[in-house]
Amino acid sequence: MIDKGSVSDPVKWASSGNNQDMEIRFWTDATNALGGGIGATYYDLVDATNGNSLYTGTTSTTGVGGTYSHPYASVQGTLTGAVNLSAGVNIVAGTNDVLNLTVDGVPRSIALPAGAYTFAGLQTQLQSQLGPYGVTVGASGNNLLLTSNSVAGTSGVTVTLPASNGATALLGAATGGYAYQYGSSATINLKSLPTDAQTFDYGAAVMVSGSPVTGDIFTIKGSTDPVTSNGYFVTDEKTTTAVNTGSGIIGAGEVLDHAKWNSPLNSRNLEVRFWQDPTSKTLYYDLIDKETEKSLFTNTTSTAAGSNNTYTHAFKAGDSISFAGLDSAYSNSGGAGDFGVSVTIQGTPASGDAFSVTASSSQSVFDTLGNLINALETGAPVGTAGNTELANKIGQTLTDLSQVEDNFLRVRASIGSRLAEVDDLDNVGQNLDLQYSETLSRLQDLDYADAITRLNRQQMELQAAQQSFAKISQLSLFNYL
C-alpha cells in the first residue's frame, strides 16, 4: 500500500518538468537476472502520459538492460558477531572450525582450515568461503560483520541452530539477521540518483509498505483536494486487473494437442501481451509465462523495446496466435517448444493490453448466468475500452454457456445410453418371463379335451396289452401238437 506522501519542496514540485502524473511500477526478479537475489523486487518511476521511465527517458521495461534498476526496501540482511577477535583466533579442527549459517533462507556450511589467523586474515578466509554463497565479510569494530548481497525479501544471514562450534567461537550471541520480512516499507523519493541517466528532483516522497509484486502499480497525480490529497498530489493503487484499453476481443481458443498442453513444462498460466513500437506504430505481441514473467519465445524476462526486446511477433487481427515455435526450454525433446493451443484475437489491442490463457476450471451454470447478469447490469464505461470490456465479458459468458450446453448434451447422451441399457435389460427380463411362463404352463396347466383323448387312447392301449398278455400267457407247446 502507499501513503499520502509528502512534499518537502513545493517549488520543485511545481517545476515545469513535473507533469504531476506519474506511476511507481514494481517488478520481481524471479531468476536473479540483475544479481540482487531471486525474488528481489525493483521499481521504476514512470511518466503515466507516455510510459517512459523518468530515470532514463526511455520506454519503461523490465529485465536486464531495463529501467527497473532501483531496489525496493534495499536494506540488506546483516549479522553482527559478539566475539572480540582483535587478538586473532586459532582454528582447531573439530573444536571451532565448522560454521553453519542460513543465507537468504538457504542453509550453508563451511569448514575453516586449521591454523592461526589474525582478525584481517580470518575475514579474508571467510570471504573466500562465504563469498560464493552471496555473503560479504567485514568488521564492526572488533567483531565480524556478515552481510547478505541480496536485496530480496529473504535477504539475511543467521546462525543455523543448534549453533556449530565455529559459530559459537567466532560469532557468539550475534545480533541482526534478516533485513526485513513481508510487511516491510520503504520511502521512495521522487528524484533521480547520480547513477540515473536523467536528472530530476520533484521535492517529494511517498512511503510504500507491504511486498509489491510484478505488475503492482501506484499512481501519483497532482491534486489540491484537502480531503483526498496532501495538498499537492493524491496517491492511489492502480489495480493489476485493470481492463484493457484497446478494442481486442479474444475467442475461446482451441486445444490442438492435449498431451502438449498438459506438459509439465507448461504452467498453464499464460498471457498474450501487446506492445506498440512508438516509431513504426507496429503492434507486436509476446507470449508470457505469468509464473516466471519470462517470454516463451526466448526464456528470458519479457521486455518491451530495447536490446532485450521480446515483443517480436507482429499482430494481425483475426490471425491465429499459436503457442508453438517456443524456446527449447519448453520442449521435452530439445526442439522448439509447443504447448498445443491457439487463440484468435479480433480488433486492435492497445499497447499494454493482455489476455490470459489458463487451464479451464469447472463453474456452476448458476455462476455463469450470474456473471452474465452482472455484466449486463453493471455495463461498462463509455468509450471504446468500455465497449470492448463489455464485449469480452459477454463473449466469455456466451462461451461458458455454450460449454454448459455441450455439457448438458454430454450428460443427456450418457443418461440416454444408460436408459437404453435399462430398456434392453427390461426386454431380456420380459423374454425370460415369457419362457418361464410357457415352461410352467406345460408343467401345471391342463387341456381337458386333449387329456381325455390321451387317457382314452392310453386305456385302449392298456386293454389291448392286457388282452394280448392273457392270450400269450395261455399258450403252450401242446397247442401246436
Which of 335, 358, 381 is where one domain is finished? 358
- The Cα–Cα gap between 236 and 146 comes to 38
Same domain, 99 and 157: yes
Q: Per the domain annotation, does 379 fall within a domain?
A: no
Model confidence pLDDT, tens digit, residues 29-73: 877 788 777 777 889 999 988 889 999 999 888 888 889 988 886
What cell was used for 440? 410352467
Q: Per the domain annotation, does 309 fall within a domain?
A: yes
Q: Per the domain annotation, does 103 fall within a domain?
A: yes
Q: Per the domain annotation, does 376 fall within a domain?
A: no
Q: Per the domain annotation, does 327 fall within a domain?
A: yes
Of residues 320 and 366, more confidently modeled = 320
Q: Average per-residue pLDDT in the chain? A: 84
Number of structural domains found in the chain: 4
Model confidence pLDDT, tens digit, residues 228-285: 778 888 888 875 445 677 888 888 788 899 999 999 899 888 999 999 888 888 999 9
Model confidence pLDDT, tens digit, residues 421-465: 888 888 888 888 888 888 887 777 777 888 889 889 999 999 888
CB 71 within 8 A of CB 41: yes
Model confidence pLDDT, tens digit, residues 186-226: 789 999 988 889 999 999 999 887 778 788 889 999 988 77
Q: What is the mean pLDDT of residues 332-358?
A: 89
Q: What is the mean pLDDT of residues 120-143?
A: 93
In the chain, the largest separation of any two C-alpha atoms, in whole Å, equals: 168
Asked whether the predicted pLDDT for residue 340 surpasses 80, the reply is: yes
Residue from 349, 302, 269, 367 nearest 68 by CA: 302
Model confidence pLDDT, tens digit, residues 361-384: 666 777 777 777 776 776 555 444
Same domain, 65 and 189: yes
Same domain, 156 and 215: no
What cell was used for 3? 501513503
**Domain span holding position 35:** 6-74+182-238
Q: What is the DSSP letter of 59?
A: B
Residue from 158, 339, 372 nearest 253 by CA: 339
pLDDT band at 477; cut points 50, 70, 90:
low
Predicted pLDDT at 311: 93
Asked whether the predicted pLDDT for residue 345 surpasses 70, the reply is: yes
Residue from 154, 148, 167 nearest 109 by CA: 167
- The Cα–Cα gap between 47 and 19 comes to 8
Helix (H, G, I), strand (E, B) or coil at 219: strand
Same domain, 195 and 334: no
Same domain, 101 and 153: yes
Same domain, 70 and 186: yes
Q: Per the domain annotation, does 435 fall within a domain?
A: no
Same domain, 295 and 318: yes
Q: Per the domain annotation, does 278 fall within a domain?
A: yes
Q: Per the domain annotation, does 243 fall within a domain?
A: no
What cell was used for 50? 507516455
Predicted pLDDT at 296: 94
Same domain, 331 and 271: yes
Q: What is the mean pLDDT of residues 90-112?
A: 91
